[in-house]
Amino acid sequence: MAVTAGNEYRSFLTLPEKQNVLKTHFSQLTAGNIMKMSYLHPGENSYTFDQADAMINWAKANGLSVHGHTFIWHSGYQVPTWMSSYSGDFQAMLNSHVSTIAEHFKDDVVSWDVANEVIDENGIDGCWRNSLFYQKAGKNFVANAFIAAHAADDDAELYYNDYDTEGGNSAKFACLLTLVDELLAAEVPITGVGFQMHVQIDWPSIEAIGSAFKAIADRGLKVKITELDVPINNPYASTPFPQYTSYTETAAAVQKARYKAIVEAYLANVPASQRGGLTIWGIWDGDSWLHTFNERQGVDDWPLLFSGPADGPYEQKAAYFGVLEALQGQ
């Protein structure tokens, strides 16, 4: 389960009802923000681990593991200012960034998104996002990040993580496979691929999703669903948007079926030993990032597994039972 933590608005550490949900229904936490670059490494020679440490200490005390998100991400608001203007050996600096963080959390973080969203199917050389990291270090920054992370913590599982790779965008998925195959050929210590799964209620098809999962599993890698949410309104659909202005019984049933089918596709196409796990991107509907996503401003949605008052108690939705039924083989 992805959580707000630390000093973030509505941190789960300040809301007992969120804590109750996590302890009762989930086994792993992912920090939505506070383990990203700008939070952990705000100055060239300074790291700030306090917020992440507090989250991890809570997780350990309550029997939950932690998945780290993420060593490297291009987004401007998450790249530290000092890093954008760094004039030294950029690759050496980036390796140190990864290894220092991995070493600090060794034994406390069981897995990491090592590199996040480096692919652009319309980008440099046909597949690479024209990020600061690519500009400064070329495409080898990804392989080097995996190597640095593994050297610092050889027990942690290491994932490449991206969106829009679950079968609906064949060009981007082809880029993903190229990246993965190059890393494997170079014997880079990659454990698996994280599929973010910010999907629509009706896209992509379950067949395409299952095929994408299988392609990674067939390469001997683990598959992890890292950021799943399912809004009921699709701004890209041919029907008028929003399709639902309230959370009706019909909407709930459609959403439940979609969640259930996704989990079933995961179980059917990924052998048990290669399942890295399933993370929902948030607890309560009202906290979802989709409410502020620019194409949904002013439009309600209910993309997660729990509803209810803002501070709880939170209620399990039909979608929750769809996931549960799939996991239980019902």
Answer whether the bond into residue 313 is a cis peptide, omega within 30°: yes
Distance CA 62, CA 56 (A): 10
How many helices and strands in the chain, by DSSP H and E? Answer: 11, 12
CA 83 to chain centroid, in Å, comes to 23
> Under a CB-based contact definition with an 8 Å cutoff, are residues 114 and 189 in contact?
no
Classify residue 88 by burial, with Cβ atoms within 10 Å: 0-12, 13-18, 19+: exposed
Given the residues 17, 157, 227, 264, select the one marked as catalytic.
227
Which of 197, 189, 196 has the alpha carbon at shortest distance from 220?
Answer: 189
Given the residues 117, 121, 157, 166, select the one marked as catalytic.
117
* Annotation says 117 is catalytic: yes
b/e 243-268 (16+ beta carbons within 10 angstroms → b): bbeebeeebbebbbebbbbbbbbbbe
> Under a CB-based contact definition with an 8 Å cutoff, are residues 279 and 227 in contact?
yes
Dihedrals phi, psi of 60, to nearest 5 degrees: -60, -40
* Annotation says 227 is catalytic: yes
Catalytic residue annotation:
117, 227
